[in-house]
Structure 1
Amino acid sequence: MAEELRNLFDKDYINELSTSIKSEYRNFDSRLFQSLIYDDMWNELALKQRVRHITNCLHKTLAMEFIEVLELLKKVAPHCRGGLTGIVFPDYVEVYGLEFWNESIKALEYFTQLSTSEFAVRPFVMKNQSLMMDQFLKWSKHPNEHVRRLASEGSRPRLPWGIALTSLKKDPTPIFPILENLKADPSLYVRKSVANNLNDISKDHPELVLEIAQKWYGDNIDTNWIIKRGIRTLMKKGDQQALELFGFGTNPNLIVEELTVTDKLTIGDALSFSFQLISSDEKPTKIRVEYALDFVKANGKHSTKLFKIAENVINSGEKKVYTKKHSFKDLTTRKHYPGKHKISIVVNGETKASEYFLVV
Structure 2
Amino acid sequence: MPSEPGPPPQLKDWFDEARYRAIAAELTAIAPKFDARVFLRLVLDGLEERTLMQRLIQCAAAVNEALPGSFQQKVRVLQKLAPKLGHEFVAIFLCDFVAVFGREHFDFSMEALRFFTVFGSAEFAVRPFILADQELALKTLLQWARHPDEKVRRLASEGSRPRLPWGMRLQALVRDPRPTFAILEALKDDESLFVRRSVANHLNDITKDHPELVLQLLEGWDLEREHLRWIAKHACRTLIKRGHAGALRLFGFGKQAEVSAKLTASPTQLRLGERLTLAASIVSTTRRPQRLVVDYIVHYVKARGVSTEKVFKWTEVDLPERGTLELIKSQVIRDFTTRKHHPGRHRVELQINGQRVAEAAFVIE
TM-score by length of 1: 0.95
Counterparts in 2 of 1:202-213, with a 5 A limit?
A: 202-213=207-218
Is contact 1:267-1:337 (8 Å) kept? no
What SS does the aligned partner of 2:103 have?
Answer: coil
Is contact 1:262-1:273 (8 Å) kept? no
For residue 140 of structure 2, the aligned residue among 135, 139, 153 is: 135
Partner residue in 1 for 2:6: none
Partners of 2:53 and 2:321 in 1: CA distance: 54
TM superposition shift of 1:318 = 1.6
Whether 1:24 and 2:55 are equivalent positions in the alignment is: no
Measured against aligned partners, the alpha-carbon deviations of 1:17-75 in whole angstroms (never above 9, x if no partner) come to: 112211111122223211221112x1121221111100111111113210110111111
- Point out where structure 2 has 5 or more consecutive residues left out of the alignment: 1-8
What SS does the aligned partner of 1:83 have?
Answer: coil
Partner residue in 2 for 1:146: 151
Is contact 1:262-1:272 (8 Å) kept? yes
What SS does the aligned partner of 1:326 have?
Answer: strand
Partner residue in 1 for 2:184: 179
TM superposition shift of 1:244 = 2.0
TM superposition shift of 1:219 = 5.9
Is contact 1:77-1:89 (8 Å) kept? yes
Counterparts in 2 of 1:18-167, with a 5 A limit?
A: 18-40=24-46, 42-167=47-172
Query: What's the Cα RMSD here?
Result: 1.6
Partners of 1:39 and 1:139 in 2: CA distance: 39
Partners of 2:21 and 2:337 in 1: CA distance: 31
Judged with a 3 Å threshold, the aligned counterparts in structure 2 of structure 1 residues 89 and 277 are, in CA distance, closer, same or farther, namely same
Whether 1:195 and 2:200 are equivalent positions in the alignment is: yes
What SS does the aligned partner of 2:91 have?
Answer: helix
Whether 1:308 and 2:303 are equivalent positions in the alignment is: no
- Point out where structure 1 has 5 or more consecutive residues left out of the alignment: none
Is contact 2:265-2:276 (8 Å) kept? no
Q: Which amino acid aligns with 1:273?
A: L
Is contact 2:17-2:44 (8 Å) kept? no
Partners of 2:263 and 2:89 in 1: CA distance: 48
Is contact 1:340-1:357 (8 Å) kept? yes
Judged with a 3 Å threshold, the aligned counterparts in structure 2 of structure 1 residues 137 and 169 are, in CA distance, closer, same or farther, namely same
Partners of 2:17 and 2:224 in 1: CA distance: 49
What SS does the aligned partner of 1:299 have?
Answer: coil
Equivalent pairs: percent with the same residue? 38
Is contact 1:270-1:329 (8 Å) kept? no
Measured against aligned partners, the alpha-carbon deviations of 1:146-181 in whole angstroms (never above 9, x if no partner) come to: 111111011001111111111110111101111010
Q: Which amino acid aligns with 1:72?
A: V
TM superposition shift of 1:252 = 4.1
Partners of 1:43 and 1:54 in 2: CA distance: 14
Q: Which amino acid aligns with 2:311?
A: L
TM superposition shift of 1:129 = 0.8
Partners of 1:349 and 1:252 in 2: CA distance: 9
TM superposition shift of 1:260 = 5.0
Counterparts in 2 of 1:265-344, with a 5 A limit?
A: 265-344=270-349
Paired residue total: 357
TM-score by length of 2: 0.94
Is contact 1:260-1:275 (8 Å) kept? no
Q: Which amino acid aligns with 1:99?
A: E
Partner residue in 2 for 1:15: 21
Partners of 2:263 and 2:68 in 1: CA distance: 72
Measured against aligned partners, the alpha-carbon deviations of 1:76-114 in whole angstroms (never above 9, x if no partner) come to: 111112411110111100000000111111101100112
Q: Which amino acid aligns with 2:82?
A: A
Is contact 2:240-2:248 (8 Å) kept? yes
Measured against aligned partners, the alpha-carbon deviations of 1:264-284 in whole angstroms (never above 9, x if no partner) come to: 222332322322111132232
